[in-house]
Amino acid sequence: MQKNKGHQKVLILDFGGQYNQLIARRVREQKVYCDLLPYDISFEKIKEYAPIGIIFTGGPNSVYEEGAPRVDERVFELGVPVLGICYGCQLIAHELGGKVMHADTREYGKCEIEYSKDSLLFKDVSSRNVCWMSHTDYVSEVPAGFRITATTKTCPAAAFENSDKKIYGVQFHTEVHHTAEGEKILHNFLFDVCKADGDWTMSNFVAQQVENLREKLEGKKVLCALSGGVDSAVAAALIHRAAGDNLTCVFVDHGLLRKGEAEEVVSVFGEKLKMNLIKIDAKERFLSRLAGVSEPEKKRKIIGEEFIKVFEVEAKKIGAVDFLVQGTIYPDVIESGKGVSAVIKSHHNVGGLPSVVDFKEIIEPLRDLFKDEVRKVGTELGLPDTVVRRQPFPGPGLAIRIMGEVTEQKLKTLRDADFILREEIAKAGLDKEIWQYFAVITSTSTVGVMGDSRTYEPVIALRAVTSVDAMTADWAKIPYEVLEKISSRIINEVDHANRIVYDITSKPPATIEWE
């Protein structure tokens, strides 16, 4: 874990609930730093962490099951405020002598709730309101010294507290938007109970990181692979601020990026930020390895391997370095399980780099940040919106958006069509609400007529999806007029385009990318 010396920190103990990352994000949104750590970290670690408050998350277990996750009771004696959410609240009741019961039916969804006006937790919250519930067990008796501060029709102790000991339990999910004023409740816990300062801002983060890194990187050689993606771009910009010319960035242009992207990397990082940037033009090399290859997995494999080979040659020229920069971000760390060990992103384009670079240590300046925070840091460091707001883009690039063999001509057609799609989506103001939007060249050719002549060209498909995490996605309901404009512009302005279709499948069953 990166040290955030000087910052107040909230410790979130993870009991395995589905909204746990969301709790951490909600705390960070209130400008309070927090970490999500496994519930079974030792009591010594908890003390050493020195939190200003502790949150227990929800989780799938029942407190009375054998082997159910528990917490060291001494946590309640630290004098540090505790907020238990859902399972976390049942755990408080269970550990401190209250009673938890199993209901016959699960309470799930929006639910009317009544709060006590005299609880600090519900300060300025309307006394009758709506909250989001998702539980079967419930607290039927609160521990001695506690009082009930909220009730619903089915839940006699929807919230309870011992304000002297600063221990609070809520059965509902404050972190979910369906809980009206959930943010305010969390705010009250953080600012009124934990006495947070709210000084976790991205400009403070940048200033502090740069100060820490300057010392660490002084006189050292640092190497970073730029992919054009948000994470590596922001990581490089941050390291650059601290290490200046000691940082060398290598950008391999595999010729499979979208229109204008390779040029943008050079213009932003080389010209504007004046970084030590080595651009390797490996277009020919990738295209010749891809010639005649149609099978998607084979294409992916070739590109991954080739990338490592190209990088290896450059790394040999650069020689030994002290640090290799990785754009790992917080969700990668949390998903790796324990939040303690470094993960190398599975993104195959950079995943293999450590094996070909002669380095002493990996440095991951963004490993404490969520994606939205990474974007803010990028803006803080002067990166343009086109870089920090960039859509997710697969490592193998346009090669997996061209069905079948990748050729120069298809690449050009795809780039031009994709550019028009992006331009029109932005003009229509839809770029913020659509998760990803791109064009695809299919492997089916159809007949068209242009002027007086017959044409026979591959169908171009447009794909646009809304999503929160790319695990599931819905096809975007782009207005017909916008689709019409995109279609007619592509047909009129792009060579080898004679038919456009729109993909109306969700994920699942389809994936976002076509290959």
Query: Strands 222-226 and 247-253, how do they pair?
Result: parallel
Phi first, then psi, for residue 101 (nearest 5°) are -120, 160
The CB-of-345 to ligand XMP minimum distance in angstroms stands at 8
310 touching ligand XMP, by CB under 6 A = no
The CB-of-346 to ligand XMP minimum distance in angstroms stands at 8
Query: Strands 9-14 and 53-56, how do they pair?
Result: parallel
Q: Are 193 and 162 in contact (CB under 8 A)?
A: no
232 touching ligand XMP, by CB under 6 A = no
Quick one: 293 or 318, whose CB is closer to ligand XMP? Answer: 293
Quick one: 137 or 515, whose CB is closer to ligand XMP? Answer: 515
Site for ligand XMP in 442-471 (CB under 6 A): 470
Quick one: 345 or 496, whose CB is closer to ligand XMP? Answer: 345
Q: Which of 34, 107, 161, 175 is catalytic?
A: 175
- The answer to whether 173 is a known catalytic residue is yes
Site for ligand XMP in 70-129 (CB under 6 A): none
Q: Where are the beta strands (DSSP E) in 1-127?
A: 9-14, 33-38, 53-56, 82-85, 99-115
Site for ligand XMP in 339-358 (CB under 6 A): 347-348
For residue 346, what are its two tokens?
Answer: 């599975």
327 touching ligand XMP, by CB under 6 A = no
For residue 318, what are its two tokens?
Answer: 């650069």
Instruction: Give the 3-state secondary structure of residue 366.
Output: coil
513 touching ligand XMP, by CB under 6 A = yes
For residue 46, what are its two tokens?
Answer: 């908890």
412 touching ligand XMP, by CB under 6 A = no
Chain Cα centroid distance, residue 60 = 23
326 touching ligand XMP, by CB under 6 A = no
Instruction: Give the 3-state secondary structure of residue 300.
Output: helix
178 touching ligand XMP, by CB under 6 A = no
The CB-of-258 to ligand XMP minimum distance in angstroms stands at 12
State which of residues 88, 394, 397, 458 lies at the interface with ligand XMP (CB under 6 A).
394
The CB-of-457 to ligand XMP minimum distance in angstroms stands at 25
295 touching ligand XMP, by CB under 6 A = no
Quick one: 126 or 511, whose CB is closer to ligand XMP? Answer: 511
- Give bridge partners of residue 38 from the DSSP assignment: 14
Helix 371-380, helix 230-243: angle, nearest 10: 40
Quick one: 270 or 296, whose CB is closer to ligand XMP? Answer: 296
- In total, the chain counts a number of residues equal to 515
Contacts of 456 (CB under 8 A, 6+ apart): 445, 446, 447, 448, 498
For residue 274, what are its two tokens?
Answer: 């004046």
State which of residues 151, 436, 487, 498 lies at the interface with ligand XMP (CB under 6 A).
436
Instruction: Give the 3-state secondary structure of residue 435.
Output: coil
Q: For the window 25-64, what string marks contact with ligand XMP as x by the rule CB under 6 A?
A: ----------------------------------------
Q: For the window 478-497, what string marks contact with ligand XMP as x by the rule CB under 6 A?
A: --------------------
H or E element: which one contains 161?
Answer: strand 159-162
Q: Are 242 and 213 in contact (CB under 8 A)?
A: yes
- Window of 30-38, 148-156, 454-462, 504-512 that interacts with ligand XMP by CB under 6 A: 504-512
- Window of 13-21, 100-108, 483-491, 506-514 that interacts with ligand XMP by CB under 6 A: 506-514
Query: Across the chain, how many H-helices and E-strands are there?
Result: 15, 18
Query: Strands 474-475 and 359-363, how do they pair?
Result: unpaired
- Give bridge partners of residue 450 from the DSSP assignment: 453
395 touching ligand XMP, by CB under 6 A = yes
Site residue total, ligand XMP (CB under 6 A): 12
Determine the Cα–Cα distance for residues 500 and 142; give it in Å rounded to an integer.
63
Q: Which of 34, 86, 111, 249 is catalytic?
A: 86
The CB-of-78 to ligand XMP minimum distance in angstroms stands at 42
Determine the Cα–Cα distance for residues 502 and 424; give it in Å rounded to an integer.
15
- Window of 112-120, 255-263, 448-456, 505-513 that interacts with ligand XMP by CB under 6 A: 505-513
512 touching ligand XMP, by CB under 6 A = yes
Determine the Cα–Cα distance for residues 291 and 307; give it in Å rounded to an integer.
16
392 touching ligand XMP, by CB under 6 A = yes
Q: Which of 135, 173, 187, 254 is catalytic?
A: 173
The end-to-end CA distance of the chain, in Å, is 36
- The answer to whether 175 is a known catalytic residue is yes
The CB-of-23 to ligand XMP minimum distance in angstroms stands at 24
Determine the Cα–Cα distance for residues 53 and 190; give it in Å rounded to an integer.
7
| CB neighbours of residue 192 within 10 Å | 13
> Footprint of ligand XMP on this chain (CB under 6 A)?
347-348, 392, 394-396, 436, 470, 507, 511-513
- What residues act catalytically? 86, 173, 175
